Amino acid sequence: MAAETPETGVSRCLLIGCDSFLSMPSTAPVSANNVQRTARMMEACVPSLVSVRSSTDGPGSSEALRALILEAFQGAGEEDTSWLYLSTHGVTWTAEEELRMALLLSDGESEEALEAGALRAILDEVPGKKVLILDACHAGAMIGKGVSGTSRNAFAAPDYRVLVSCGGEEESWMWSAAGDEHSGAGYFTAALEAVLEDGRTDRNEDGVLSLGEICAALRRVHGASTAYCYPEEDAAPLMIPGKETDRALHGLTFEEQKAEEGSGVSVSFRFTVSEPARVYYRLAAFRDGVWNFAGAQKQPDRERTGSVRGLLAPGGKTRSVRLTTVGGAESGWALLEILTVENGSLQLAGSRALYLPDPRKTPETVIMTAEAFTPGKGEELQAEVRTDSPCSLTVWAADEGGNRLRQLTPQEIVCPRGAFLYWNGTLENGEPAPEGIYRMLVRTAVGEKTQEILSAPFRLIREDPENGKQEKTPG
């Protein structure tokens, strides 16, 4: 049965990649390749698509970007959806004690830093619904996510949906393509391609993909940074699942890591090989706030096909990786990457962050939230969780007494920079939580040892977004 069109009206896509810069290193050909891969995704997965326009030279100014946007989305009506994908550098600075972030627009000859408000002003000129996919360092700051303290979501409006490659305090990673113009791409874009063709992304099996489903799937197989979206857990139909491509490896699934007897931890994972392939496993330590890819350790899969060692035969595979040190240290965080060799170059199939705990230490945990939020105004409650040593986290929205109401993490999460979780004010069954006092409940785990910590109380305010009157709540 064919999937129904998720939206009325038609869709138009504009895909932009910036590789040549004046103030930052060149990323060529990564952004150009990201655009090409995303074009294939859009053609396969965006319903009622009437046009896909690409620019890999990069606009060098906001006016040039505005011209591209107005041309690509010309004729859009209130029932139409305009998709904008942008791959570029993201830059940050501090002004008046607040983290500021901008997307770097550059064509190699001129350059301009575009902040969220300016991008919103351009897109507000386009009627109808807008979907943004941003692959850039610190992109989460555009929607106020993954940023410590108070931050603003410039796109908190009912006609916007946004998916970003990383939090405001994170970098968005790519692999280089020295000597091979056909290789190189962003980790996030590669992960997005994988989840759109993975049937498990459609969790409720209704034949369409929501923004919430896509973002949740990305967090399971994209460990280098944290994908965020707005609105959080948005359930409205957005895309149609793509058909499985001829990629050598697909269906990657990670289990939760386990403590090993004696010392160390291990993680099991499964995948399917569709044709004979060489597979590698790489571990990169987290050092000085970034993943140390330069010092990463890479090992080939040792399976034998016929007389050839290291060549995997088609079929389902189950593997396990054990971690006993991280970059020579007894504890820390590591990124496990699954790589394949296709067309003579390495391709990323997926990644997962792991933690190696110090068994002698119980993590000290701090939870920070705002004092109140109003879901009816499009606000989401941010819970910032910081720990002083490696562990995994599970987070729930809870009532004032600490009783669990909704799990905000689909599985245990590992985030060396600290975790940012968001609650949209709904319960486990999707119904809105009534106005009142709530808390965040965080469980940390170090092997079999767990502890639970409650945040300070905060207030959920129910207010009619149209006229400021109190919303009616069920019951």
DSSP string for 5-40:
PSSSS-EEEEEEE----SSS---TTHHHHHHHHHHH
- Tally Cβ neighbours within 10 Å of residue 444: 22
Q: What is the average per-residue pLDDT within 290-318?
A: 92
Q: pLDDT category, 176, cuts 50, 70, 90?
A: low
Distance CA 304, CA 207 (A): 38
Q: What is the average per-residue pLDDT within 264-291?
A: 94
Bridging pattern class, strands 129-135 and 160-164: parallel
- Phi, psi (degrees; rounded to nearest 5) at 120: -60, -40
Residue 38 near residue 131 (C-beta atoms within 8 A): no
Q: What is the pLDDT of residue 2?
A: 35
What average pLDDT does the chain have?
A: 90
Give tens-digit pLDDT for 438-468.
Answer: 999 999 988 778 999 999 999 999 976 455 5
What residues have CB less than 8 Å from 228, skipping those under 6 apart?
Answer: 140, 143, 145, 146, 163, 164, 166, 167, 215, 420, 422
Distance CA 342, CA 346 (A): 6
Q: What is the pLDDT of residue 324?
A: 93
Q: What share of the chain has pLDDT > 90, as a percent? A: 76
Peptide bond into 300 cis (omega under 30): no
Angle between helices 187-196 and 211-221 (to 10 degrees): 120
Q: For residue 382, give the 3-state DSSP assignment.
A: strand
Distance CA 7, CA 21 (A): 37
Distance CA 361, CA 389 (A): 8
Q: pLDDT category, 475, cuts 50, 70, 90?
A: very low
Higher pLDDT, 96 or 94: 94
Q: What is the pLDDT of residue 5?
A: 45
474 has a pLDDT exceeding 80: no
Distance CA 411, CA 419 (A): 13
Q: What is the average per-residue pLDDT within 44-63?
A: 96
Give tens-digit pLDDT for 232-267.
Answer: 999 999 999 988 777 889 999 999 899 887 789 999
286 has a pLDDT exceeding 90: yes
199 has a pLDDT exceeding 60: yes
Q: What is the pLDDT of residue 466?
A: 52
432 has a pLDDT exceeding 90: yes
Q: pLDDT category, 418, cuts 50, 70, 90?
A: confident
182 has a pLDDT exceeding 90: no
Q: For residue 176, give the 3-state DSSP assignment.
A: coil
Give tens-digit pLDDT for 121-138.
Answer: 999 999 999 999 999 999
473 has a pLDDT exceeding 50: no
pTM score? 0.93
Q: What is the pLDDT of residue 183?
A: 65
Q: What is the pLDDT of residue 59?
A: 97
Q: What is the pLDDT of residue 222?
A: 94
Q: pLDDT category, 1, cuts 50, 70, 90?
A: very low
89 has a pLDDT exceeding 60: yes
Full set of structural domains in the chain with CATH: 11-239 (3.40.50.1460), 249-356 (2.60.40), 365-460 (2.60.40.4070)
Q: What is the pLDDT of residue 463?
A: 75
Furthest CA-CA distance within the chain: 74
Bridge partners for 81 per DSSP: 11, 129
Q: What is the pLDDT of residue 471?
A: 45
